[in-house]
């Protein structure tokens, strides 16, 4: 598919059911019926950046900030491993309290549990990424957010699109399984630009692509923006499946925040991964990138069993392996 063909599919609300059906078929053929679960721990909401869309941006003074100390973090992960998770995703704001050494020690401790470790801690240096990889980090998740550089720089003051892209290349070079992705429905983002994002992710040959709707947060400069629609996000995700048939595609939490069945709809339109939250207690509520975040009052046990039942109710099964990308092409 070229940009124009992708654009047509993005615009075509009327026939989206057919696109979703095709993406579901391709998903089944290439990655099968297993849904891989990733236990997501959000371990710090402290961030040096000021992304205009993000609820944990530095200038949100109304938010109480937390960081989970390494010991507690490792304990939480151990409990998640006991619940059966084979992948742990460690996500945070760009919090430099977690130095290279500190993160290395945490990663090494978690790797002892025989799980795949995904990091999602934003932009760091090559030396950091290399050290994390050497102590066992397997995967890295960093969305490019948009490939429209002007839009990116309007939304991410003082950040550089080029450096973010360079980080993605470094991670690839270091042998991480690479996850990236975008938000859909950002103010000033055109469908043509989303089509270009999709081609970018295809060219980068990402192993995982996370696509979610932008949801405006009250305590950000974009509080009064429109936000993305679930359906456009689903169409974008379905096209991603057609472009890169063998990759991992999560049913994103932001989709479920817009619709009670958001993640199930996604799993039936090309997605094959879900990332249940394993963060405990009060921390969940405090890590609100956008409003309406699901499951803020649940426990990890509840999230695991709830999503398990949902997955089985649509005739799918839970993956028992690490759920790495198996390249077909």
| Sites of contact with ligand SAH (CB under 6 A) | 53-54, 91, 93-94, 120, 122, 142-143, 145, 183, 212, 214-215, 217, 254, 289-290
Q: Any idea how long the chain is? A: 329
Helical segments of the chain, H only:
3-11, 16-31, 70-82, 100-111, 126-134, 149-155, 161-173, 191-204, 230-243, 253-258, 262-267, 283-286, 300-313
Instruction: Determine whether 24 is exposed, middle or buried from the number of CB atoms within 10 Å of its CB (0-12, 13-18, 19+).
Output: middle
Distances (CA, A) of 249 to 72, 237, 246, 266: 30, 8, 9, 9
| Cβ proximity to ligand SAH, 54 vs 178, nearer residue | 54
> What gap in Å lies between CA 155 and CA 161, rounded to an integer?
11
CA 282, 102, 162, 194 torsion: positive or negative?
negative
What distance in Å separates the CA atoms of residue 126 and residue 72, rounded to the nearest whole number? 28
* Sheet bearing 273-274, strands edge to edge: 273-274, 34-37, 317-318
Q: Report the nearest approach of ligand SAH to the CB of residue 124 (Å).
A: 10
Judged by beta carbon, residue 93 or residue 250, the one nearer ligand SAH is 93
Those residues whose C-beta lies under 8 Å from the C-beta of residue 117, and which sit 6 or more positions away, are 87, 88, 90, 107, 110, 111, 136, 137, 138, 139
Using CB atoms, what's the residue nearest to ligand SAH? 122
**Minimum CB distance to ligand SAH smaller for 7 or for 215:** 215
CA distance 183 to 236: 10
Assigned token pair, 267: 């799993």
- Cβ 121 to ligand SAH, closest distance in Å? 6
Measured from the CB atom, the residue of 30 and 66 that comes closer to ligand SAH is 66
Least distance from ligand SAH to the Cβ atom of residue 120, Å: 5
The distance of closest approach from Cβ of residue 22 to ligand SAH in the complex, given in angstroms and rounded to an integer, is 26
For residue 290, the minimal CB distance to ligand SAH (Å) is 4
Q: By C-beta, is 26 or 119 nearer to ligand SAH? A: 119
Nearest distance, CB of residue 307 and ligand SAH, angstroms: 19
Nearest-Å Rg of the Cα atoms of the chain is: 18
Q: To the nearest whole angstrom, how small is the minimum distance from the Cβ of residue 217 to ligand SAH?
A: 5
Is the Cβ of residue 70 or residue 221 nearer to ligand SAH in the bound state?
221
């Amino acid at each position: 598919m070229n940009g124009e063909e992708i654009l047509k599919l993005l615009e075509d609300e009327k026939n989206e059911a057919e696109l979703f059906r095709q993406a579901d078929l391709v998903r089944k053929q290439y990655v099968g019926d297993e849904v891989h679960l990733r236990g997501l721990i959000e371990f710090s909401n402290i961030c040096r950046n000021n992304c205009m869309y993000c609820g944990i941006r530095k200038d949100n003074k109304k938010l109480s900030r937390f960081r989970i100390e390494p010991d507690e973090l490792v304990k939480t992960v151990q409990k998640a491993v006991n619940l059966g998770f084979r992948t742990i995703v460690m996500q945070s704001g760009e919090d430099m309290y977690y130095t290279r050494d500190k993160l290395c020690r945490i990663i090494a401790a978690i790797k002892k549990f025989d799980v795949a470790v995904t990091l999602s801690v934003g932009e760091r240096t090559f030396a950091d990424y290399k050290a994390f990889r050497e102590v066992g980090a397997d995967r890295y998740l960093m969305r490019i957010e948009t490939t429209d550089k002007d839009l990116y720089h309007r939304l991410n003051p003082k950040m550089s699109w080029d450096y973010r892209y360079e980080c993605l290349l470094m991670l690839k070079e270091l042998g991480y399984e690479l996850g990236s992705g975008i938000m859909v429905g950002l103010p000033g983002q055109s469908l043509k630009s989303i089509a270009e994002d999709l081609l970018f992710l295809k060219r980068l040959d990402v192993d995982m692509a996370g696509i979610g709707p932008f949801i405006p947060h009250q305590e950000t400069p974009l509080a009064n923006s429109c936000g993305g629609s679930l359906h456009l996000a689903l169409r974008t995700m379905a096209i991603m499946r057609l472009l890169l048939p063998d990759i991992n595609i999560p049913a994103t939490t932001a989709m479920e925040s817009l619709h009670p069945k958001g993640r199930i709809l996604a799993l039936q339109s090309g997605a094959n991964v879900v990332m249940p939250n394993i963060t405990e207690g009060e921390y969940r509520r405090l890590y609100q990138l956008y409003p309406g975040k699901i499951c803020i009052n649940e426990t990890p046990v509840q999230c695991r069993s709830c999503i398990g039942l949902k997955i089985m109710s649509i005739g799918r099964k839970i993956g028992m392996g690490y759920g790495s990308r198996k390249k077909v092409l």
